[in-house]
Every structure is written in structure tokens, then in C-alpha cells.
Structure 1
Amino acid sequence: MRRVSRIAVAGAATAALAVSVSACGGTSSDAAASKDDKNKGVAIAYDVGGAGDQSFNDAATEGMKKAAKDFKTGEKAVEPVDGESDADKTQRLTQLAKQGYNPVIGVGYAYAPAIKEVAAKFPKVTFGIVDDETVKADNVSDLVFSEQEASYLAGVAAAKTTKTKTVGFVGGVDVPLIHKFEAGYAQGVKDTNPKVKVVKQYLTEKAEDGGFTSPDKGKTAAQGQIEKGADVVYHAAGLSGQGVIEAAAAKKVWAIGVDSDQYKQDALAKYKKYILTSATKDVAASVYNLAKAVEDGNAKGGVVRADLKSGGVALAKSNPEFMKMKDVQAALAKAEAGIKDGKIKVKTTP
């Protein structure tokens, strides 16, 4: 899901950074407010994994920082805490709204109950929630993605690349959102080569059990799939995916990253040779665009969907070796065109 047009952070935010501790959210980075006290700028409340996940949350951070720089406002990012409740999330969002941040964005579907409650109390504040479209309110933007489309392309790449005719999928948590990744991937594999087997594993049933935050779990799962013959392993597991990539590199097989272009990430640099590509989604652009809408005075509630056609999801093209695979690239171009013109209907459930 990207990065045909990925938002890059053009330097540090203009506001000075300070470190503070939230009553319910751990350590935060809190930039100084803008001159306009009515709006301090954009605030994000991180999903599990927090800052430094090299994936979902870090992409949101990119969008926040670019917005703060471009609009000369402040910024604030608040970390989650282990075992937190919906009440903790509600308190965190309430604090951000009271402090004058606008928009206030919950990163991840787990924020849905809190966003619904807090948005009703602060009708003049624009709220955003990433990866959920169940909150219906005039001041809430549901920032969602067609993850299955980029995952379909990942499946095409895997099917064209595998030599063992076995590929793997590691999902962080067994929930409908991650089912979209699995569904698109499996369909892409089967449409490309029905003889290729897909082995899959979900790390946990609930997010609080560490499915998105445990590289060791990801590593063990990937090792098991590689032992079963998988020579390409795709993960949709957040921070846990670092373990998947590590396991693939150790066995010199391909890994496919997710959310961000993981080939380009410093924390994964020593494994990059084995990161074939990544199914990306432009969380950074979604966060930035909502902040811009608030800045411009035209923010609206409702579902804002990013898909392959809009460039909101894509397959990363950073690995030179991947780009030299002419037969793979030809198959991907054909598949991408089919999805964009509606000839290929990608499933959202396995």
C-alpha cells in the first residue's frame, strides 16, 4: 500500500519538543503550541506497539510531523499502556481535546468506543480514527484502507517468486481487519498459481495478548512456516513482524513487509536484502490530509477510504532486485490494472 506517493517528513517540526508523562498514556512527545491558542495542532494517540514500531504508528507520526511543520502548529503523540481499558483511551482523548488539539486521531480500531464517546462531548473538535468505519458522527473521520488490494499484489509477487510452491502468512491478531490482508494475499497467490500452498498463522486472538507487539512470537511463527517449506512469508503483524523478517533473513528466504516500506527502515537495515517488498498503506497521508482539512476549515465526518486506484495503498518498489524481476513486474502490472478497472474483485474475508 504504497509507496507510489508516500509522504516524507521534510525535517523536524518547527515547534520545540518537550517530554511529558500523560496520566493514562505513558510518555508523550509534546510540541509547543502555535501562536493561535484555539488550536495547538494535530494530536495522535498511538495504537499498541507505539512509536518505533517501524510500521503503522510510525507512519501516523510522519503525517503528524509534516502537518506540524507545514501549518506551523504544535503536535502531540501519546503512548498507550499495557492492559489499558476503553476508559483509559477515553481519558487520553479527552485530555487531548481539552488541551486544544485539533484534530485528535486515534491510531487503530481499538479506539472506536473512546472516539465515539469523546467526539460527542467535543462537537467542535475534529476526531479521526484509523482502520475503523463504525463511528458515525459529523465530527469524526473514519480513515480506512483497502488493505486487501495491496495484499493481493503481495500474493502475486509471492506466487511468482516462490521456488518451493509454499508461501506463508503471519497475522498479528485474529480479527476482521487482519482477515482482509490474509484474504487478498491468498487470492493473489491462487489467481497467479493455484498450485502454490499458503500456510497461515495468527499470533493471538486478542490484541492485548501481544499479537502486534511481540517480535519473538512473529519469529517463532515464521520459523515454523519456513520449516514447512515456505520461502516467502508475508506478515500483517505490526511490531511482531520484525521477528518475521528476522526469521526469513536467517534462513535466506523472502519476507514481505506491511503498512510502511520496510525495506527502507533503519531498524531493519541488516535484513533488507531479504525484504522483497511491502504492502503499504499511506497512513501518513491520511493523518496529514485530515490535519489540512481542519487547517482549511473544511473537515467533514464520514468514511475516507484510500485504495489502490487513489494511491492510498500500493506495493513498495524499493528493492532493486525485486524491480529487476521482469516476469514478476509484468504480472503485478496486469493485476494492478485489473483491480483498478474492476475486472479483479478482491475479497475482504478468507
Structure 2
Amino acid sequence: MRRAHHLKLIAGLLATGLVVTACGSSGTAATSATSAASSAASSATSAMGSGMSSSSAATSGSATGSASGSATGSASSSAVESFPAITGDAASVKLGMAYDGPKGDQSFTDSAARGVEAATAEGVELVAELAATVGEPESAKTDRLSQLADQGANTIIAVGFDYATAMGQVAAAYPEVHFAIVDDSSLADVANVASLTFAAEQGSFLVGAAAALKSEAGHIGFIGGVNTPLIQSFEAGYDAGAKAVKADIQIDATYITEPPDFSGFNAPDKGETIANGQYSGGADIVYSAAGGSGTGVFKAAKAAGKLAIGVDSDQYNLPTLADVKDVILTSAVKNVDVAVYAMIASVADGSPLTGTQVYDLSNGGVGYATSGGFVDDIATQLEDYKAKIISGEITVPSTLS
């Protein structure tokens, strides 16, 4: 019953036209929301137009703050009324959010925050939103999750894979609390944890194909926030998509930071510097899979008269990026907001999600944005690649060969 209801919620989200495609984290999974959802996704997608569907639920994030502090910044607004109504007891949900970076990134964290905004509009009580600080010890994450539980949260969502170790410990200590983590599947067997994962490589394949089709130089770039397996899956998909179009295309790839330094997800100045180097080196389109650092990439694209590709949200439509939207070719979007909302709704309905929930092209969890009309002339090719991925004719790698 839980599975059926979850798929029904996904179909409802698609039918409202809420989400504008998505691309997300890796995750092979134990439980994939595919087959039943795919029929709903396909009908809703056709109603919404090529490449601009989305649905399901899963999250990923980044934020900064202290274990006792609150996340700062503001999430870009989204049409709260576009989410389907929570049919269960919304008031029974006491929500705690733990971000791994600050709000205001115009990407990953802000997408998760939109799901929270929609849920609170339905009557869900937000106990607290807390955020991590760069370079904090692992114990700070454990303390943060414990603090949320001690404050009365019965549903705790951690936005970002870096919370995995802490969540494993805290979930065991609070078995009555429902937990979810975005972009990690290592806790899939824990009874009170839902792992919300995305097939980031699939959405990245499509924007890679778009980059190759649009590049006049035959030379494109990739900038990753932090060199982790998750972000490597974005690069792998992008690389495969571009080379499916043009086998000999030149691709420059650079990561802003290496673990354990995760500041690369919120370093727009460094993103701008790296992008400037790629553009001056001959690339005419650069894909930024770097969270808040992407604003610097867009700034560099604008200055160079080149193009860039966004990530996580349809960044062309974000009000705070209005001055650079004319250089955003497309975005590889993953619907973190919908994943967060679906987790919350499942608790309200009395059937909380558990195990690994996988969001991919087949169920609308990932995709590409068409805002601005820059990819309208290549929509047929992109939709053909999309159909072949869904059918299994094309298998997108999640690691570089």
C-alpha cells in the first residue's frame, strides 16, 4: 500500500506540472519508483512538453550554520499551490531539516527548501532548519540530528550524502523517528530511514548531448563542486552524452575542491575563475555541477559571451539569476523539492517511506530544462536519447571509464 500511494503521489506531482525536469544523485537501488510511475510520467510529460517533466521524490543538499543555528539565506520561491494536497494528517508531522550548506545557493539546497515550504503550507509543523558549517567535525552532524529529535521532530530529513554516518547513529538511537537522507543509499536496510537518490548520470547525459549539439567549437567544459563519486556521476553522464553526439569532442573537466574540503559547492569566486580558464582555453559551453558555485560560472559565461549549463533546478527561471539567464543553455534538474515533499506526505499518511527510493528518467525524477527555448531546435534528438535511455537501449555510465 505504501508503494502504491507513493506512486500515486508521484503521478499527482507530474499531473500538476510542478516540476521542470531533474537530474540527481547516483544510486542503483533497491527500490526504484519506475514501472508504475513511468506510465503516469509519460502521460504527464507529454502534456507538459519535451524534456520538462518531473515528479518523484528525492533530495540532496548543502548548507551552513551551526548545530544549534539555523540555515541562512532564502530559497527561491516556487508555486506552493502546484504541489498536490497532503491527504493525511499534516499537523501530525513535526519536521526537522538538516542541510549541508546554506540556503541561497539557487540550486540543491534551495530546491529542498521549496519542498519544506510547500509542506508547511499544508499544515506541517517545522520544528527547525539547521545547517552545517564548512570543515565541521563529524560529531557536529550527529549533534545536529540529535538536537532535532530532542526538540520533538518526528520526521528528520538530511539534505546531502555527508550526513550518512551521523544518520546511521542517530536513527538507531531514535527508532520512533522517521529519517530520510538525500543522495545516499548506504542506510537502505535501516528500518526507519528512507534513502532518496537520483540517477544524476541520466540527466547529465542529456545536457551533455545538448552541449555537443550546440557547441560550435567542438570543445566543452565540466566543473564539479567536489571530487566525490556522486559528482563524478554527473561528469560521467555528461561525458557519455556529449560523445554520443560527437565522439571526438574535447571536454575539459575540473573539480573546485577535493574531500574533505566541501567548500567547492559554495565558492562562486572559484567557479568563476575556473570557468574563465575553460572559456579562454576554447570551450564554448560549460556545465556546472557545483551547487552555489555555479553563479560564478554563469558570470564568467556572460563576460565571455559563451554558454553555461545549470544543475539541480531550472536555473533559467530563478529570479536571482535573471541577469545571467540569457547564457543558461539548459539545466540538468533533479527534483529534490518533490522528494522532500513526498517523504513528508508519506509520514502524514501513516505509511512513511523506507529503503532506497530511486528517481530517474523513467519516473520523471531527472531530466533537462527547456526554459528560454535554447534547445527547442534539438528537442527531437534529445527526446530520442531520453527514450533510448528509458527503454534500456542506452545504458548511461555512472563512472568514467
TM-score normalised by the chain length of structure 1: 0.89
- Partner letter of residue 332 of structure 2? A
Q: Structure 2: how far apart are the matches of 1:219 and 1:266?
A: 20
- Partner letter of residue 351 of structure 2? N
| Structure 2 CA distance for partners of 1:278 and 1:25, relative to 1, 3 Å | farther
Secondary structure of the 1:44 match is: strand
| Structure 2 CA distance for partners of 1:196 and 1:318, relative to 1, 3 Å | same
Q: Percent identity?
A: 41
Q: How does 1:312-327 map to 2 (within 5 A)?
A: 312-323=365-376, 325=377
- Structure 2 segments unaligned to the other structure (5+ residues): 1-20, 23-51, 57-64, 73-88
| Structure 2 CA distance for partners of 1:252 and 1:38, relative to 1, 3 Å | closer
**Is 2:120 aligned against 1:68?**
yes
Q: How does 1:110-259 map to 2 (within 5 A)?
A: 110-135=162-187, 136-206=189-259, 208-259=261-312
Residue number in structure 1 paired with 2:33: none
Secondary structure of the 1:206 match is: coil
**Structure 1 residues 223-255: Cα deviation after superposition (integer angstroms, max 9, x where no partner):** 111111110100110111111111111111110
| Structure 2 CA distance for partners of 1:152 and 1:25, relative to 1, 3 Å | farther
Could you tell me which of 18, 24, 40 is aligned with 2:67? 24
Secondary structure of the 2:264 match is: coil
Secondary structure of the 1:124 match is: coil
**Is 2:156 aligned against 1:104?**
yes
Q: Structure 1: how far apart are the matches of 2:264 and 2:374?
A: 31
Deviating more after overlay: 143-152 vs 314-323 = 314-323
- Partner letter of residue 4 of structure 1? S
Q: Structure 2: how far apart are the matches of 1:256 and 1:147?
A: 14
Q: Measure how far apart 1:207 and its partner are.
A: 5.1
Q: Measure how far apart 1:27 and its partner are.
A: 2.7
**Is 2:341 aligned against 1:288?**
yes
Q: Which has the higher contact order (CA 8 A, sep 6+)?
A: 2
Secondary structure of the 2:251 match is: strand
| Structure 2 CA distance for partners of 1:75 and 1:256, relative to 1, 3 Å | farther
**Structure 1 residues 20-77: Cα deviation after superposition (integer angstroms, max 9, x where no partner):** xx86243358xxxxxx9995522211112x1111000001001111112124433532
CA contact (8 A) 1:45 1:77 kept: yes
| Structure 2 CA distance for partners of 1:263 and 1:207, relative to 1, 3 Å | farther
Q: Measure how far apart 1:182 and its partner are.
A: 0.3
Residue number in structure 2 paired with 1:95: 147
Could you tell me which of 300, 321, 326 is aligned with 1:273? 326
Residue number in structure 1 paired with 2:137: 85
| Structure 2 CA distance for partners of 1:37 and 1:178, relative to 1, 3 Å | closer
- Partner letter of residue 227 of structure 2? D
Could you tell me which of 392, 396, 399 is aligned with 1:342? 392
Q: Structure 2: how far apart are the matches of 1:193 and 1:348?
A: 19
**Structure 1 residues 267-314: Cα deviation after superposition (integer angstroms, max 9, x where no partner):** 211000000110000000110000011101101321001001100101
Could you tell me which of 372, 379, 382 is aligned with 1:329? 379
Secondary structure of the 1:292 match is: helix
Q: Measure how far apart 1:336 and its partner are.
A: 0.5
Residue number in structure 1 paired with 2:4: none
Q: Structure 1: how far apart are the matches of 2:262 and 2:354?
A: 32
- Partner letter of residue 270 of structure 1? D
Q: Structure 2: how far apart are the matches of 1:207 and 1:25?
A: 22
Q: Structure 1: how far apart are the matches of 2:99 and 2:211?
A: 31
Secondary structure of the 2:356 match is: strand
CA contact (8 A) 1:261 1:280 kept: yes
Q: Structure 2: how far apart are the matches of 1:277 and 1:345?
A: 22
Higher strand fraction (1 or 2): 1
Residue number in structure 1 paired with 2:62: none
Q: Structure 2: how far apart are the matches of 1:265 and 1:5?
A: 17
Q: Structure 1: how far apart are the matches of 2:195 and 2:262?
A: 26
- Structure 1 segments unaligned to the other structure (5+ residues): 8-21, 30-35
Q: Structure 2: how far apart are the matches of 1:47 and 1:229?
A: 34
TM-score normalised by the chain length of structure 2: 0.78
- Partner letter of residue 200 of structure 2? E
Secondary structure of the 1:255 match is: strand
Secondary structure of the 1:27 match is: coil
